[in-house]
Structure 1
């Protein structure tokens, strides 16, 4: 049913420079606030309120087939133009829609950066949930995403669920100390891929982006660094190396 994550929506002020900030971070040119990477898009919608990730849009081969299957699985949706918008009560308040997509769109053009130093794809996106079993039922059983890992780590105070979706992971993070509740889920953060961590870090540092120093990632063979500016309030890391989900 779901073949990929098509794009993520970020609401942020154009006046405050959200689009140019992401052009700097990605090393790619936006078109009407839209970016396309190898495996996902980022759509920035102009909003003067506090910047935040506001929606997830999955790709499917047939909206009609997806709508029928989701209805049978207890996830009603409403057709709005060229998309199927899922009921917020069923998605635990995360705004989710589906669109039809054939083929892979071309990535946005590079701006003053070589490919190795640019951001090329999304590695994973993070959704924070107060109820991990509910998340397994929704993202795994109802949406049909492939649950690849379910791991709790008291040192991190976190239970992590990794759902494979095309060439990336939808990660559900649960705060162990907070306990389980019926509060809403929320889209939280993004982890971007680069072919060369050192070159990407050097490019961004030269452009005035605030960064942490590169460090070993949790996956063997990876390095990561945190992006502390130019993200419109989105918790963001950049990851590179041989490790993959």
Structure 2
């Protein structure tokens, strides 16, 4: 039913600054820009998903709603959207699972630069039933244009999106049993906590229960992103030269990976850059 991760939405206040930051981080140009319904949007489309930057625009109820969300929750990851090849069937499944989906709507978007138009159909599950994570489901009419690379060390795609939870059993039931994602890994470590990986196309949804207690047991949170590159040393050198604060590459927790942490240039999102070695490629 779910065929992959379609896109993630990042809410920000300054669309120009955020666009510049992600042009640097990803080493790619935006693939789509448009403004409507009280928001400006800039899309970066990679090999396996799209990152959508969204900022309030103008004076309207919709724009004020976005500003209010940013005021309450801050900038950062705001929603996740899964891809499906049959939105009607997906809607029926969500309804049977008592996730109270919104009615299916059809949406058009026109690129401000090229004049091209995209069309899709989408629905949204009730947020109070998806453990506080805003969750959409989308059937895209045609593939989006891919963002052009500006360096050989450009980010290829997303390796995993991290969701933080205080109730791993209920989260596992949501992403595995109810949404039908295949659990690829369930591991507990004294220092890292419990890690669960759910396959979603060629990337993973990672659900993490950290060892430090005290969070909201009823609500999960979109927490971080791990971007995939072919050569982590080249990406490290490129980001350092651009003035991004970044750690030295190190062996990743997942066997067969090397990672580095970014400390700036991410719009406040916890971010890793990851290289898969031959073992996991």
Is the 1:75–1:142 Cα contact (8 Å) retained in structure 2? no
**In the aligned structure 1, how far is the partner of 2:130 from the partner of 2:177?**
12
State which of 104, 123, 129 in structure 2 corresponds to 1:84: 123
Partner of 1:70: 94
What's the TM-score once normalised by structure 2's chain length? 0.81
Partner of 2:60: none
Alignment of 1:195 with 2:230, yes or no, is yes
Is the 1:163–1:169 Cα contact (8 Å) retained in structure 2? yes
State which of 130, 134, 145 in structure 1 corresponds to 2:166: 130
Task: Quote how far apart the aligned CAs of 1:147 are.
Answer: 0.8
Match of 1:130, SS state, is coil
Structure 1 window deviating more from structure 2 (118-127 vs 68-77): it is 68-77
Task: Quote how far apart the aligned CAs of 1:13 are.
Answer: 2.3
Alignment of 1:19 with 2:52, yes or no, is no
Match of 1:135, SS state, is helix
Show structure 2 runs of 5+ residues with no match.
34-41, 57-66, 107-120
State which of 109, 117, 132 in structure 1 corresponds to 2:148: 109
Partner of 1:29: 29
Is the 2:247–2:260 Cα contact (8 Å) retained in structure 1? yes
Partner of 2:178: 142
Alignment of 1:229 with 2:264, yes or no, is yes
Task: Quote how far apart the aligned CAs of 1:106 are.
Answer: 4.0
**In the aligned structure 2, how far is the partner of 1:185 from the partner of 1:118?**
31
What's the TM-score once normalised by structure 1's chain length? 0.92
Alignment of 1:54 with 2:89, yes or no, is no
**In the aligned structure 1, how far is the partner of 2:92 from the partner of 2:256?**
42
Partner of 1:168: 203
Task: Quote how far apart the aligned CAs of 1:51 are.
Answer: 1.3
Is the 1:140–1:147 Cα contact (8 Å) retained in structure 2? yes
Task: Quote how far apart the aligned CAs of 1:220 are.
Answer: 2.8
Task: Quote how far apart the aligned CAs of 1:179 are.
Answer: 7.1
Show structure 1 runs of 5+ residues with no match.
none
Task: Quote how far apart the aligned CAs of 1:215 are.
Answer: 0.8
**In the aligned structure 2, how far is the partner of 1:209 from the partner of 1:193?**
17
Match of 1:93, SS state, is coil
**In the aligned structure 1, how far is the partner of 2:238 from the partner of 2:9?**
25
**In the aligned structure 2, how far is the partner of 1:37 from the partner of 1:181?**
33
How many residues matched? Answer: 241
1:92-151 deviation digits (Å, cap 9, x = unpaired) = 11000001036754420112x12xx11011000000011000011110111100011111
**In the aligned structure 2, how far is the partner of 1:181 from the partner of 1:130?**
6
1:28-75 deviation digits (Å, cap 9, x = unpaired) = 011321000100100000156431100000000111101111211221
Aligned-residue RMSD, C-alpha: 1.8
**In the aligned structure 2, how far is the partner of 1:101 from the partner of 1:58?**
11
